[in-house]
Amino acid sequence: MEARFELGAEALARLMPMHLALDGAGRILSAGGTLARLIGGMDGAAFGDLFDLRHGAPVGSVSALLRVGGGKVQLEVRGRPDLAFRGLAVPMGPGEGALVNLSFGIGVVEAVRRFALTEADFAPTDLTVELLYLYEAKTAVLEELRALNVRLQGDKVVAEEQAVTDALTGLRNRRGLDLAVEAVTEPDFALVHLDLDRFKAVNDGLGHAAGDHVLLVVARILSEESRRGDTVARIGGDEFVLLMPGMDRAEPALARIARIIDRLSEPIPYGDAVCRIGASAGLILSAQVPGADVAQMLAHADAALYAAKRAGRGRVLLWRPDMAGE
């Protein structure tokens, strides 16, 4: 003996918030709360006026669906091709219509986002809710991983920048100078080795804080006197190197360094005191030593620098071959 059960509309809505109950003529007797909220105006409406029905091959009516015994269906809301469902249609008995239980299928994530669906819009036993929790958790984890990757990339950029930057002045350090030289594509460039005069007297007389202040002023002046594309590096306590790509003549280079030395000779206020320094420099052009590496050029610029110091300081000299042993 086949048992027969009947469910009231309220119980049916709780169990299947996306159901459609149809009579034999294809009119909607009841609809789940989720469907009613999404579509509206369904009570008593003709199924065919609201939905296009698919059942493998197209099935044009509910009666035709019932004749083939129901089964899996696909519905599309008329006038809203973006709103489609998958489901199962079950005949309720001869001449009694059908019960159709629907879902969003694989489009559930997009539907939740578009229609602001919540747990209450799904059956309590629907695994969709659990899958949504997993999806949200996965999305949150991926967002955290993306944010972490951005932070790591930022930290990497900062670390790389710190690795080539002098901590006190913000100028390039020796490693930064080496990389800048490697990046030069022009055959002609100039290197200048500049050393401060009387800097030790500032440190000894006014302390290292005053010395740091002087170094910051020097860094600012060197940066102000540099062209776009030039590199200014601090390679020692009071030693600086200027790399000037494209510089192929001595006269403009000498004039620029002489101007820098003049500015560095001006008094530098520090609190109630005044710091007085100067500078000497040696200059070499790449054209003077074709094929020489950076270490050789720096050695020649260093020789010119010490020749300038022996000549009375406060000046810049262009390297000459006879300075090699000085």
Residue 187 contacts residue 246 (beta carbons within 8 Å): no
Residue 230 contacts residue 292 (beta carbons within 8 Å): no
Is residue 210 domain-shared with residue 295, that is, in the same domain?
Answer: yes
Is residue 319 domain-shared with residue 184, that is, in the same domain?
Answer: yes
The answer, yes or no, to whether residue 70 has pLDDT greater than 90, is no
CATH code for the domain in which residue 92 is found: 3.30.450.260
Higher pLDDT, 246 or 128: 246
- Domain interval for residue 83: 9-108
> In whole angstroms, what is the distance from residue 186 CA to residue 248 CA?
10
Predicted pLDDT of residue 261: 96
pLDDT in tens, 148-169: 777 767 666 555 656 788 889 9
Q: Is residue 65 part of a domain?
A: yes
Q: Is residue 34 part of a domain?
A: yes
Predicted pLDDT of residue 304: 95
Q: Is residue 187 part of a domain?
A: yes
Q: What percent of the chain has pLDDT over 70?
A: 82
Q: What percent of the chain has pLDDT over 90?
A: 35
Q: Is residue 308 part of a domain?
A: yes
Predicted pLDDT of residue 129: 62
pLDDT interval class at 320 (50, 70, 90): very high
pLDDT in tens, 180-238: 888 888 889 999 999 999 999 999 999 999 999 999 999 999 999 998 889 999 998 89
Higher pLDDT, 279 or 186: 279
> Who's near 312: CB < 8 A, 6+ residues apart?
none
Is residue 284 domain-shared with residue 198, that is, in the same domain?
Answer: yes
Q: Both tokens of residue 185?
A: 């594509």
Predicted pLDDT of residue 68: 57
Q: Is residue 292 part of a domain?
A: yes
Phi/psi of residue 196, each to 5°? -75, 140
pLDDT in tens, 21-67: 888 788 888 888 888 888 877 778 888 788 887 765 555 566 766 66
Question: What is the dihedral sign for C-alpha 91, 93, 98, 102?
Answer: negative
Rg of the chain on CA atoms, in Å: 41
Is residue 184 domain-shared with residue 274, that is, in the same domain?
Answer: yes
> From edge to edge, which strands make up the β-sheet containing 28-31?
28-31, 19-22, 98-103, 84-91, 71-77, 51-55, 57-58
Give the count of domains, the chain.
2
Mean pLDDT of the chain: 83
CATH code for the domain in which residue 277 is found: 3.30.70.270
Is residue 221 domain-shared with residue 295, that is, in the same domain?
Answer: yes
Q: Which residues are catalytic?
A: 238
What's at 188, amino acid-wise? Answer: D
Predicted pLDDT of residue 326: 46
Q: Is residue 203 part of a domain?
A: yes
Domain boundary (108, 129, 155) is at 108
Domain boundary (64, 91, 108) is at 108
CB atoms within 10 A of CB 258: 14
Query: 35, 49, 57, 113: which is closest to 79 by C-alpha?
Result: 49
Q: Is residue 184 part of a domain?
A: yes
**Average pLDDT value for residue range 121-136:** 67
> In whole angstroms, what is the distance from residue 216 CA to residue 53 CA?
78
Residue 233 contacts residue 172 (beta carbons within 8 Å): yes
Q: Is residue 124 part of a domain?
A: no
Predicted pLDDT of residue 1: 44
**Does the global pTM surpass 0.75?**
no
